[in-house]
């Protein structure tokens, strides 16, 4: 019997669609198709055509934005207003990729600087790295697909895309749109398969670049098995620490941090998770933060009033509930929330001063839970913020420039937001984790540059 994957609406667990999975016997054909396209340079898509394809794709996406929003909500459960923002970002991402194609260029390397380099002129040029395999995550099903597929198209690489098995519909919709926009057959192959088959694909010697968004455990494991020479970019999670000083502006900070903590029910790799607050303002912070949290509307993601939707599976609700109960048993004070609303939703939860050994302190929660820790010594707070293996984005709230610069320098993070939440991102900025949180930097232009490689040409002539 054919294996399938069931796409379930996370909020009420209703069946959206059932799709077939490929098995190992299909892998050879998929790889051969991609490799043949790359090896035949006469079939490469010229830059002007890549620009035309992506510009047309962005236009079609814009025309079908409501349909794409509906697809994203039905498979991922992210509330309407946030799914709408994701689709608009995805369209902008396609436009950014099209624009960046004109920036793919080499440079002249100076010669004649030594006697042996006389009578030469040298240039670098850029060419596609080769076959790209991209493995994606569930939490931003269209925007992540853009970051992994469209960047490969812009770089001129054949791409094999494996979406998360729970949220493949947005990636498939993007593939249809790219085909409609004129992407030649074979340049994008969307593969739905189990983990064992995916590993066979990823670790094949014909893969030149591996793009991964997902858990650190899976990402580092796959990287360790890559064929020699396969380049990789990995994006994992973080715990997004925030330092709040006593001079922070409450009117700006509270709504910002509440949004950063509970956006997509906390299922974001840079969600606000750990807030270290100066003891002088801690009582006021807890009061205002919890009051704003209690106003959040939890409900059906299709309802435009909903702020917080469902978690991706009931299993995740069980896990979040266990972690919160464990934290309370180990000394955390429950400020608000703390209970499941249904099999698929959990109350936005605020915990005060959980043990540094509790799971909510040591692991990425990936749920609607924010932990607040008081501090009297800022250096100690920074030390605790840096104590985990994961380091991605962080933030500091203060009106003191020296404090902001000092904290920014000392926090172990790839990006530090000053007076903004940790989840801020635009798609033209570098974005990624360091240490256990990832390898390389994402962002449309950064990923395109990862997917191209340099070639040096040196001309020798007596006429030079």
State the Cα–Cα distance between residues 75 and 68, nearest whole angstrom: 11
DSSP structural state of residue 392: -
Helices (H), 64-108: 65-76, 80-100
- Active-site choice (86, 157, 245, 269): 269
**What is the full DSSP assignment across 409-441?**
HHS-SSEEEESS-TT---TTS-B--EETTEES-
Bridge partner list, 4: 20
CB 455 within 8 A of CB 125: yes
* Among 75, 235, 245, 364, the one annotated catalytic: 235
Residues 105 and 102: their CA atoms lie apart, in Å, by: 8
Two tokens, residue 55: 């510009």
In which element (H, E) is residue 4 found?
Answer: strand 4-8
Tokens at 132, concatenated = 């790209």
Structure tokens at 176: 């249809």
**151, 57 Cβ separation under 8 angstroms:** no
Catalytic site includes residue 321: no
432 CA to centre of own chain: 8
The residue length of the chain stands at: 464
* Residue pair 147/119 in contact by the 8 Å Cβ criterion: no
Task: Give me 44's structure tokens.
Answer: 């490469």
Q: Hey, how many other C-beta atoms are within 10 angstroms of the C-beta on 172?
A: 18
In angstroms, the CA 342 to CA 237 distance is 26
Distance CA 324, CA 350 (A): 10
Is residue 269 among the annotated active site residues?
Answer: yes
Tokens encoding 163: 């979406």
Give the CA-trace dihedral at 343, 74, 86, 102, to 10 degrees.
Answer: 140
In the Cβ-directed half-sphere of 156, how many Cα atoms lie within 13 Å? 23
The contacts of residue 256 (CB under 8 Å, 6+ apart) are: 420, 421
Give the full edge-to-edge strand order of the sheet including 209-213: 188-190, 159-162, 132-135, 209-213, 231-235, 438-439
The catalytic residues are 235, 269
């Amino acid at each position: 019997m054919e294996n399938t994957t069931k796409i379930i609406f996370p909020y009420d667990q209703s069946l959206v669609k059932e799709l077939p999975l490929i098995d190992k016997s299909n892998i050879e054909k998929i790889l051969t198709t991609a490799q043949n396209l790359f090896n035949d340079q006469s079939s490469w898509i010229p830059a002007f055509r890549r620009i035309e394809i992506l510009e047309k794709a962005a236009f079609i996406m814009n025309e079908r934005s409501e349909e794409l929003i509906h697809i994203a909500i039905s498979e991922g459960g992210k509330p309407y207003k946030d799914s709408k923002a994701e689709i608009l970002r995805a369209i902008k991402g396609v436009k950014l990729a099209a624009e960046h194609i004109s920036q793919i260029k080499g440079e002249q390397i100076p010669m004649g600087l030594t006697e042996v380099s006389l009578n030469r002129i040298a240039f670098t040029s850029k060419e596609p790295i080769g076959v790209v395999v991209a493995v994606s995550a569930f939490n931003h099903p269209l925007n992540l697909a853009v970051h992994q597929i469209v960047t490969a198209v812009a770089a001129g690489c054949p791409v094999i895309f494996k979406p998360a098995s729970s949220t493949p519909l947005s990636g498939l919709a993007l593939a249809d749109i790219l085909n409609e926009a004129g992407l030649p057959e074979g340049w994008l192959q969307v593969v739905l398969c189990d983990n064992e088959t995916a590993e066979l694909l990823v670790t094949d010697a014909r893969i030149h670049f591996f793009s991964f968004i997902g858990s650190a455990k899976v990402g580092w494991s796959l990287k360790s098995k890559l064929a020699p020479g396969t380049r990789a970019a990995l994006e994992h999670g973080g715990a997004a620490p925030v330092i709040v000083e006593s001079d922070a502006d409450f009117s700006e900070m509270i709504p910002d941090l509440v949004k950063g903590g509970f956006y997509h029910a906390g299922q974001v790799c840079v969600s606000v998770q750990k807030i270290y607050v100066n003891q002088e303002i801690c009582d006021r912070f807890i009061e205002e933060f919890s009051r704003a949290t209690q106003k959040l509307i939890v409900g059906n993601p299709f309802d435009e009033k909903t702020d917080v939707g469902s978690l991706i599976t009931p299993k995740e609700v069980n896990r979040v509930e266990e972690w919160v109960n464990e934290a309370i048993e180990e000394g955390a004070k429950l400020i608000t929330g703390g209970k499941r609303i249904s099999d698929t939703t959990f109350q936005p939860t605020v915990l005060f001063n959980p043990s540094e050994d509790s799971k909510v302190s040591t692991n990425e929660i990936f749920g609607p839970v924010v932990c607040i820790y008081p501090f009297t010594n800022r250096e100690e707070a920074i030390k605790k913020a840096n104590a985990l293996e994961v380091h991605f984005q962080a933030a500091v709230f203060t009106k003191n420039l020296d404090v902001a610069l000092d904290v920014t320098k000392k926090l172990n993070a790839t990006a530090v937001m000053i007076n903004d939440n940790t989840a801020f991102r635009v798609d033209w900025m570098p974005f990624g984790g360091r240490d256990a949180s990832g390898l390389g930097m994402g962002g449309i232009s950064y990923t395109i540059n990862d997917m191209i490689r340099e070639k040096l040409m040196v001309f020798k002539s007596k006429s030079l």
